[in-house]
Structure 1
């Protein structure tokens, strides 16, 4: 029988919404405002809000922003948004449904720059591991005061006599990449090290240019977001939340454990729908071939896993609400499952970036081969993460089911 998280519905005293829920939301709002102040002090765009948040922030100018401030803003915004989602019947619907998508927009916008940086580092290290070449050091993002410069050429000339692809969905690049992927689907993956080394350096340079361009654009988008009137409106609402939480009448006698248990149920049901049987096998050729096809759409097998990662996060936030003011009990099994899903997301996005680079027009066959091997390697990392999640979740179910 599927695990149903009985620990959330025991007979202990129920947390009171007016205490636990409001306390948690206020604490996260204060963390948000602290991160905003850190952003200001680090030279970020001045916050010009007219509400309590605007009066509380120093108005220092500048063109940059602190990665620590952006990370803290994301963290607080995610927790506020997730809590509003899980406990939405207990909150004023007009207010909560208005601010929740804005917080999701903010956290998503601020996450892009770090995601590009981490993806590039992951891919370069994988190229180094696969080929034995030195990884290309990531290039620092262009400051927002300088215009983002498009590289003169994101492609490389093919050697004399080599076929020259002419479209992003290049047959030569795709077939070469699929051939490379096939070498890694065997029980003993042994890519042609000599051929791989030839293309790895140029593949790394191509990835460096593409992902650093994306990182620069994400950096500019984050700065624009933090200086926009849309962000000012969000910050003003969060400042109000730090002092007053708009509760619905239903919150007076509500038992928060029932809402946290519902979040756990949604997680359990989503995990039950995953193809865990496939995740128990080391090779998934269908996943490899789909990712190297000319279709740039997201991988269909990844979506339910990403959804489980989101639901696991909401479950963790609900537990934090239940233990407001206390230390949240550490569940090693949940931590292991979350780490596996984080690795799954990172590897899936890295594989997509490698496949996208392989679709670049006019790249040499050796470069396409290196990118194909890199893509296959990251899809194997996806499968390994799924297997690790399966193991950790099964242990969790065995350890808590009755």
Structure 2
């Protein structure tokens, strides 16, 4: 990998550059907050409020990262008090978006793994709705489940063959319209014969996906139920946080920051380049500790061993990669303070680490759903295949990062 320190021939970057950057980000924070209040943030949040929340997270992350990287030139008491509060704001607002994107990713993967045709473009339909609508369903009553799912999100119900009322009522549906998991999933003999016949017809076209097809619809409904509940709770938590006195105190401090940046006495005549270079060194050290040789291999046997472990703890190989992702973000934001565009390879490496984080969290969600008590074997099988698929995505993202990192020239101005 080609590495260079920040250009030593360039002149020093004064602390005024940091002050201007922080004022700009504080202004973006206040503008996003005003937009969020104007567009409404109730239970049915509009696209404008979603974009405003994303802008709030983006500004809070950049301010917090700058306080961390350039702490020596800032008032220590003020920066130490602001950093955890900004991290709390960005983390709280990120939960809802994480649940939504994770569910979309899992349902699209289930749609692909079940052998269904490619998803058609249907106007403004979300990937979740189109995945549930296009997924090959293996049990009666799942059309009603997809319809209930679409209705719960205010979207057009997917089209499918009509299901008699008595089948909808007796098909093991839960109170929210999804197929019940567990003991209530026992099939009536007549319905079971119809299921076997339909499954046999589909096996003629995709003989190796029979069991996955049977369980894919119920696995999708189970994931939708769990992650939609988590998203709703995260949305309520975000609303409570934005209305709390704690957030109002943070907003007041950011409003002051938009006009006055509390610099330390050491800021006079200070150069920001060594501090940005230190962020680069921390990133390089963390990347050096990664098993890039293993990431360059198409088959990671050690990851397979950990993937088969019954331990519900986070995957032991993921934590160092997540840390590198955070350090890479700090380095990018430091370059923004210095008005230096990051290397294109650095952007590609960041995108690979974003995919790595998304896939690892999606795999954990699939594993958590598979631990639901008394689920049917076909549902558990589909979730297991889904978990393995997302762990393959993790390995692919690591390989992409390893290839991108070889082309990175860090610190180019």
TM-score by length of 2: 0.78
Distance apart, 1:289 and its partner CA: 4.0
Alpha-carbon distance in 2 for matches of 1:222, 1:10: 45
Distance apart, 1:31 and its partner CA: 0.2
Paired position in structure 1 for 2:8: 10
Q: Which runs of 5+ in 2 are unaligned?
A: 117-129, 134-148, 155-173, 188-205
Q: Does the Cα contact within 8 Å between 1:154 and 1:210 map onto a contact in 2? A: no
Paired position in structure 2 for 1:28: 25
Paired position in structure 1 for 2:388: 376
Matches within 5 A, 1:240-255: 240-255=256-271
List per-residue Cα deviations over 1:358-398 (Å, max 9, x = no partner): 1100011111111011000000000000000001101226x
Distance apart, 1:135 and its partner CA: 2.1
1:126 to 109, 112, 116: 109
Paired position in structure 2 for 1:258: 274
Q: Secondary structure at the match of 2:407?
A: helix
Alpha-carbon distance in 2 for matches of 1:310, 1:377: 25
Q: Which runs of 5+ in 1 are unaligned?
A: 46-61, 144-148, 162-189
Change (3 A) 1:226 1:160: closer
Paired position in structure 2 for 1:173: none
Change (3 A) 1:233 1:219: same
Paired position in structure 1 for 2:132: 136
Matches within 5 A, 1:134-213: 135-136=131-132, 155-157=180-182, 192-213=208-229
Greater Rg, structure 1 or structure 2? 2
Q: Does the Cα contact within 8 Å between 2:343 and 2:408 map onto a contact in 1? A: no
List per-residue Cα deviations over 1:105-158 (Å, max 9, x = no partner): 100000011111100110011111111247216758889xxxxx9959885136
1:286 to 276, 287, 302: 302
Paired position in structure 1 for 2:169: none
Paired position in structure 1 for 2:403: 391
RMSD: 2.7
Paired position in structure 1 for 2:76: 93
Q: How many residues align?
A: 344
Alpha-carbon distance in 2 for matches of 1:154, 1:224: 32
Change (3 A) 1:289 1:139: farther
Paired position in structure 2 for 1:51: none
Change (3 A) 1:160 1:151: closer
Change (3 A) 1:259 1:223: same
Q: Secondary structure at the match of 2:408?
A: helix
Matches within 5 A, 1:96-107: 96-107=79-90
Distance apart, 1:331 and its partner CA: 1.8
